[in-house]
Every structure is written in structure tokens, then in C-alpha cells.
Amino acid sequence: MEKTKRIAAVTMVRNDDFYLRKWVDYYGSQLGKENLYIFFDGLDQTIAPFCEGTNAKLVKKIGSQVVEAEKGRLKFLSNKAASLLVEDYDLVIGVDADEFIVVDPKLRKTLPEFLSGLNIKSSVSGLGIDFGQKLGEEGDITEDQPFLRQRHYGQIGTRYTKPSILAKPLVWGSGFHRIKGHNFHIVKDLYLFHFGYFDMKRLQDRFADKDRLAQGWGKHMEKRSRTIRLVTDKKARDFDCWTSFARICQTIVRPPYALNKPAMFEAKIIVRIPERFQDIV
């Protein structure tokens, strides 16, 4: 029997309790709350009561504009991950608060069981699925049910196939999208589910967030609403078939401007998530 590895998860948030609550619930149940490290971007923030039992801390605000803030944020989190790996942990998961590393339920394994069975030399990635809202079929998201009982469609996205799991000190690029100087390794039956832009009403509310608009996020958020349009307009394909194809494709294909990022010929593939996932997140 494989020895269970010690695994930590790190994230940084600002004004994001909706996602953070789900993040704490999910990773707390998988890894134990004592292994969660949450950094609040700005001393003006408040640590929510649901973070009790985690390692939650306020830090000085990092940067005032998107590019500057992202670089500083990922440098900070890379340093924290390195410290955790040197001091206590075998693996560190680094993700945003709206991102969830999920093992396919057909394996009947917890996240620590699955990751403990892998021989990870530097890092591994789950295949990225960016969830949208199928307008006319799916209503506004509510907090009283799992996300995956309310959202059934996602785009297989190279943007969210991220090297999220580290086995040694390395440096993440902005948004955890790559590791500087290293390739990525997509693991079968492991996924990164992204829920940041899966609800039109929440997206519209975020447009009105003065703090985000002042940082230059308006254009970025407008771009992200494309997932909702794609999910609404395009025919959904078979999940198991097309995720297998995407995993192979993203492993082989690279964009010419970034050889340590995945690519998929700009294909826009929408899949319907199988029911076996519906109670996970």
C-alpha cells in the first residue's frame, strides 16, 4: 500500500468569500483544514469565520494593476510553496479560489490517495475544464447545492491545464499557467475544474466591482464571458472520449511563443460532465 504523502494547498484571495468558502470546504475535506494556506491580499481584508482551522493570514496588498499584481502574487505563492516543501510537505497544490483539482470518481480514490500513487519528479497537471452556464437551461447559481449539480457543461481549455501540483521548489508563472524553465505533465483521470465564469449574474456583478475595475480587470472579465456563450451555443460532446483526445493533444502540441504551455489547435470543444461528478464540488 502506498504511503500517503503530506499535501498542502495554497491560494491568495481578495474579496472572494463566495469561492473561498467552497475552496475551504473542498480542500479541507480532501487534505485537512490544517494543511490549507490562505493569504488575503491586503491588510484591509477580513478573515472569514469559515477559515477557522486553516492557516489564513492577511498580507500587504500586492500591486495595483493586473500584470504587476499577478507577477507579485505568483512570486509570493511560489516562495511559500517552496518553504512548505522544504519544511514539511511532499506536495503543494497551488490554485486560485475558483479552481478545484478533481480525481475522476470512477477510480474511487481521494485526492491524496491518487497523488500519493504518482511518481512526481517536478510537477503534474490536471486537464483543464472551464465551466460555463447554458443560458435557457441552467439558472442562477446557488450556494445550497454542489456546483456540479447546477452546471453540466464546460469547455476543454488549455488555459486551465495548469502545473498546479509541485513536488519540489519551482517558480509558477502568472496565474499558475506554467512553471518557469520546466515542461508540464498531464495526468490521466485528473482534472482542474474552473468555476470563475460559470454564472452570468455573478459575472455582471463582478463588472460592477470598483476594486477590480480599478485594477484593469474589466477587459479580462468581458473576455471570460465567452465561455458562457460557447456553452450556450455549441453542441456538447462526450466527456470521456474528448477529454482523452485533449489530453493527448495538449501533451504533444505547443504554442510557438511558449513551449512550456499546452495547445490544442484553437479547438473549442464543449463537453457535458458525467453524473458521476455531480457531488464532488
CATH code of the domain in which 269 resides: 3.90.550
> Would you say residue 178 lies in a domain?
yes
Spatial distance between the Cα atoms of 233 and 220, rounded to a whole number of angstroms: 21
In whole angstroms, give the CA distance from residue 16 to residue 107. Answer: 32
Q: What is the pLDDT of residue 258?
A: 67
pLDDT band at 177 (very low <50, low <70, confident <90, very high): confident
How far is the C-alpha of 238 from the C-alpha of 59, rounded, in Å?
Answer: 44
2 in a structural domain: no
Residue 275: is its pLDDT beyond 60?
Answer: yes
CA distance 137 to 199: 12
* Each residue's pLDDT tens digit, 52-92: 999 999 998 876 555 567 778 889 999 999 999 998 899 99
- CA nearest neighbour of 271 among 239, 248, 226, 241: 239
- At 61 the pLDDT is 84
For the segment 188-246, what is each residue's pLDDT rounded down to a tens digit?
999 999 999 899 888 877 766 555 555 555 565 566 788 899 999 999 999 999 999 99
Looking at residue 2, its pLDDT comes to 64
Residue 188 lies in a domain: yes
12 exposure class (CB count in 10 Å sphere: 0-12, 13-18, 19+): buried
Is residue 154 within 8 A of residue 271, CB to CB? The reply is yes
188 DSSP β-pair partners? none
Give pLDDT, residue 53: 97
Indicate the pairing of strand 237-238 with strand 99-103. unpaired
Average pLDDT over residues 117-131: 95
Note whether residue 121 is domain-resident: yes
Domain around 166: 7-277
pTM for the model stands at 0.91
Percent of the chain with pLDDT over 90: 65
Instruction: Share the mean pLDDT of the chain.
Output: 89
Query: Does residue 96 have a pLDDT over 90?
Result: yes
Burial letters 196-211, b for 16+ CB under 10 A, else e: bbbbbebbeebeeeee
How many domains does one find in the chain? Answer: 1
Decide if 21 contacts 48 (C-beta within 8 A): yes
H helices of 129-238, in order, are 147-150, 200-207, 210-214, 218-224, 226-233
- CA dihedral sign, ordered 196, 27, 175, 45: positive
Residue 1 domain-assigned (yes or no): no
